[in-house]
Amino acid sequence: MLRGILARAATAAAARGAAAAPVDRVAAQRASALLFPAMASPFAATARRWLATEAPAAQESPDQPTAPQADKPPASGKPGREQRGSGGGRPRGKSDDGNRDAARAAGKPPGDRVPNSRPELLRRVLHIRRVARVNSGGKIRSVSALVIVGDQNGSAGYGMGRATDSGAAVRKAFAQAEKNMVFFERLDKRTIFSDIDHTYHKTNLKLRMARPGYGLVVNNHVHEVCRCIGITDLGGKVYGSLNPLNVIKGTFSALASQRSPADLARLRGKKVVDIQMAYYGAKV
C-alpha cells in the first residue's frame, strides 16, 4: 500500500511539474508516518539524509587507483618471523657468551654484576624447636633455630634466629652465624694441637687429637662443628648437659682455648721450630 501511495505521489509530481514536487513529497512523508510511525523518528530522518548525501561520496570509484599500504605489524605487537629474520630482535644462534668470556679473560665482571669473592660456606641446621613467650594476652608462639656455617678451612660461626615460621628463623640464624665467624688454628689442617678438657656451665667436653685417617668420633653436634671448621680427625666425649646450644658454645670455647706452637714458644722463650719438633716431630 505504501509503495502504491509513493508511486502515485511521484507520478502526480512529475505531471504537475517541479513546483508541486515539494507538496507531494510532504504528502508522501505524512502517509508513510501514518502507516509506519517509526519512520517519522529523528533517527530515521538522519539515516535517510546520510544515505542521500554522504553515502555516495564515501563509496570509492572503481577506476581510481588505491595508494599502496605500508606493511603493518601483527595485531599482537610482536615482530613477525620475517621481521625477526631481517634484524628485529636478537638473531637466532647468537648470544653474548663471547662477550662474557672476553670480560672474564680481561679480569672484569661481565655486565654490571659484582663478582662473588666470598668462598662457598657449608651451612648446617643443628636444632629447631617451638618456643612460646607468655604475656598478659596469653602465649605468643614462635620457632627458634640453631645453625652453624663454615668455610671448611678453619673459619666457622654459629647463630640463633627466632621467627613465627621456621624458614624465617633459619634465615635469621644464618645471617647471624656469618657475622660471628671466627678462625681456629689446626695441626696439619686436620686435628687439634693437644687434648682438651673443657667445661662450659653444666657441659663437660673431652676432646682428643687423633692420627691421620681416624675420622670424627664425637658427639653429633661437635661433629657438625668440626666439619664446618675443617677438622677431619678427632675423638671426644660430652658429659653432663647435652643441650645443643651449650654443646655448640662449649665446643667453640674449647677450640678457642687451645694453645698453638707459636703461643707455647712465646711463653717459654723458645723458637717455634723447636716447639714443633719437640711436640709434633715436624713443622706444623
Q: What is the pLDDT at residue 113?
A: 45
Average pLDDT (100-121) is 52
**Which of 212, 211, 239, 213 is CA-nearest to residue 222?**
239
Query: 2-6, 71-75, 265-269 — which one is most confidently predicted on average?
Result: 265-269
pLDDT > 60? residue 58? no
Query: 27-36, 87-96, 237-246 — which one is most confidently predicted on average?
Result: 237-246
Banded model confidence at residue 59, pLDDT cuts 50, 70, 90:
low
pLDDT > 80? residue 78? no
pLDDT > 60? residue 283? no
- What would the pLDDT profile of 247-272 be if each residue is shown by its tens digit? 999 999 999 998 877 777 787 777 77
Q: What is the CATH number of domain 186-284?
A: 3.30.230.10
Query: Is the CB of residue 154 less than 8 Å from the CB of residue 187?
Result: no
* Distance, CA of 53 to CA of 140 (rounded, Å): 82
Query: Is the CB of residue 208 less than 8 Å from the CB of residue 193?
Result: no
Amino acid at 267: L
Mean pLDDT, the chain, rounded, equals 75
Average pLDDT (86-104) is 50
Q: Does domain 120-183 have CATH number 3.30.365.10?
A: no
pLDDT > 80? residue 108? no
**Which of 259, 248, 251, 254 is CA-nearest to residue 194?**
259
Banded model confidence at residue 229, pLDDT cuts 50, 70, 90:
very high
- What would the pLDDT profile of 134-145 be if each residue is shown by its tens digit? 988 899 999 999
What is the residue extent of each domain of the chain?
1-37, 120-183, 186-284
Residue 191 DSSP symbol = B
Which residues have CB under 8 Å from 16's CB, separation 6+? 24
Q: What is the pLDDT at residue 284?
A: 45
